[in-house]
Amino acid sequence: MFGRIITLVIKEFLELRRDKWARFRLVVPPLIQMIIFGYAATFEVFGVSTAVLDFDHSQESRELISRFTYSGRFHIVKVAQAEPEINAAIDSGDAVVAIVIHPEFARLLRKGQSAPVQVVVDGTNSNTALISLGYVGEIAAQFAQDYATDLAQRLHGAQGPPAAQVVLEQRPWYNKDFNSRWFFVPGIIAMVILTMLVNLLSFAVVREREVGTLEQIMVTPIRPLEFILGKSIPFFLVGMALVALIVAVGTLWFRIPFVGNPLVLLLGTSLYLLSILGVGLLISTLCQTQQQAFATNFFVVNPMVTLSGFATPISSMPDVLQWLTCVDPVRYYLIIIRGTFVKGVGLAELWPQMAALAILGTGLLAASILRFRKSLD
């Protein structure tokens, strides 16, 4: 049995060695995806295009505007003279945020009254809008506080009676600077491997079926189980090599810290590969042609990505979708890969995810072996 499996594995690697184009397809697309998407995927907000309309032209209003510029979060692209210019800038998308300071601004401030500042935000991208509003609020609050202390000092010569205050101290763990890339790059590794391997494996099996070489193999003494193992083992090894390659890109190119234990990631990755190869094989048993395999892959892989928590937290999804995520191997792998990369947790914390992957993997592989036997008839 082992002799026959090894023969099959060698056959697959020979095919790969002779097909220059296939080797190119195996290495270059994941690298390109990893690098471009590593740069593209971010929810961070810096240098938001901002328009300002300052009716007041006072020292105070200029001070407030300069605080926006110096924060690095806002980039002033337009200094407007009248209201319609602001509206046009937001309409055309030239500016995402507009700040309007009323003519009475400094006068009200000096009197210790509440001075209004109007902020217009283009809400088309709700996430950017929400985060920008948060920064606007922060800058305004800081300005207000500084101004109030300053005013109190000028009026009373010293600080007035302290008002009762409850303040929130932030302690971000694991990712102290809220760096978006630390979150996305490990996720991209999981995505790239998923799409590559499911496609490659299901196509490799279906092609044999479509071209008719599967029947030839089945008349040899090779049994279905041996055939499946012979097909999966090369892809498992290729998958491992690819993970190593793109993890190297993640740590060396993107400088994502790897604080955990590499062995834990290795174990998690093997279990993950087991499940996604199971998915690929199961798809291949359901399809007769490559076009069908392609369509089915799409139906399966896309929900797996969406439900995995890759970009948006699972806890914000509707309940029904949250239950569905429990059978998504990517969900568990994301916890493992982010846990080992950024959080530095080990087997003690990650064993539930490991167990879930092992169960899903064996279940999927067993199902595909059973289905494969049937699909031969």
Partner 1 sequence: MRARRVRAIAWKEFLQVWRDPRSLMIALLMPFIQIMLLGYGVSVDIKHIPTCTFDREDSQRSEALLKRFQASEYFRIVEVESNYAGVTEALDYGRCKLAIVLPATFSQRLTDVGRSEVQAILDATDDNTANVALGYAQSVVAGFSADVELRQSARRGSPLQNTPLALEPRVWFNEDLNSRNFIVPGIVAMVLALVGAQLTSLTIAREWERGTMEVLISTPVTPSELMIGKVLPYFAIGLLDAAFCISLAVFWFEVPFRGTLATLLFTTSLYLVVVLGIGYLISVLIRSQIGASAIALLATLLPTMLLSGYTFPIDQMPWPVQAITYLVPSRYYVTIVKAVFLKGAGLAQLAVPISLLAVYAAVIAFLAARAFHKRLS
Residues 70-109 that bind partner 1 (CB under 8 A): 90-93, 109
Question: Which stretch in 237-245, 248-256, 273-281, 301-309 sits in contact with partner 1 by CB under 8 A?
Answer: 301-309
Contacting partner 1 within 137-196 (CB under 8 A): 137, 140-141, 143-144, 147-148, 151, 162-176, 178-180, 182-183, 195
**Out of 62, 67, 343, 371, the residue judged to bind partner 1 by CB under 8 A:** 343
Q: Are 339 and 190 in contact (CB under 8 A)?
A: no
The gap from C-alpha 14 to its chain's centroid, in whole angstroms, comes to 36
In whole angstroms, the minimum distance from the beta carbon of 274 to partner 1 comes to 22
Question: Which stretch in 123-131, 234-242, 258-266, 267-275 sits in contact with partner 1 by CB under 8 A?
Answer: 123-131
Question: What is the total count of residues that contact partner 1 (CB under 8 A)?
Answer: 107
Q: Which residues contact 199 (CB under 8 A, 6 or more apart)?
A: 280, 294, 297, 301
Residue with Cβ nearer partner 1 (101 or 243):
101
In whole angstroms, the minimum distance from the beta carbon of 193 to partner 1 comes to 14
Distance CA 163, CA 177 (A): 31
Find, among 351, 360, 365, the residue nearest to 268 by Cα.
351
For residue 374, what is the enclosing H or E element? helix 347-376
Q: Are 357 and 271 in contact (CB under 8 A)?
A: yes
Find, among 99, 113, 110, the residue nearest to 71 by Cα.
99
In the beta sheet, which residues pair with residue 139?
Answer: none
In whole angstroms, the minimum distance from the beta carbon of 38 to partner 1 comes to 9
In the beta sheet, which residues pair with residue 98?
Answer: 51, 120
Distance CA 43, CA 106 (A): 35
In whole angstroms, the minimum distance from the beta carbon of 6 to partner 1 comes to 25
Backbone angles phi, psi at 50, to 5 degrees: -130, 140
In whole angstroms, the minimum distance from the beta carbon of 363 to partner 1 comes to 23
**Out of 123, 248, 262, 376, the residue judged to bind partner 1 by CB under 8 A:** 123
**Out of 25, 57, 156, 255, the residue judged to bind partner 1 by CB under 8 A:** 25
Contacting partner 1 within 345-364 (CB under 8 A): 345, 349
Contacting partner 1 within 219-278 (CB under 8 A): none
**Out of 61, 232, 296, 340, the residue judged to bind partner 1 by CB under 8 A:** 296
Using DSSP's 3-state secondary structure scheme, residue 102 falls into coil
End-to-end CA distance of the chain: 22
Contact status: 121 vs partner 1 (CB under 8 A) = yes
Distance CA 344, CA 326 (A): 23
Contact status: 342 vs partner 1 (CB under 8 A) = yes
Using DSSP's 3-state secondary structure scheme, residue 103 falls into coil
Residue with Cβ nearer partner 1 (210 or 237):
210
What interhelical angle do 347-376 and 224-248 show, nearest 10?
Answer: 140
**Out of 56, 122, 208, 226, the residue judged to bind partner 1 by CB under 8 A:** 122
Residue with Cβ nearer partner 1 (68 or 226):
68
Q: At which residue do the structure tokens 């590559």 appear?
A: 196
Question: Which stretch in 1-9, 254-262, 274-282, 294-302 sits in contact with partner 1 by CB under 8 A?
Answer: 294-302
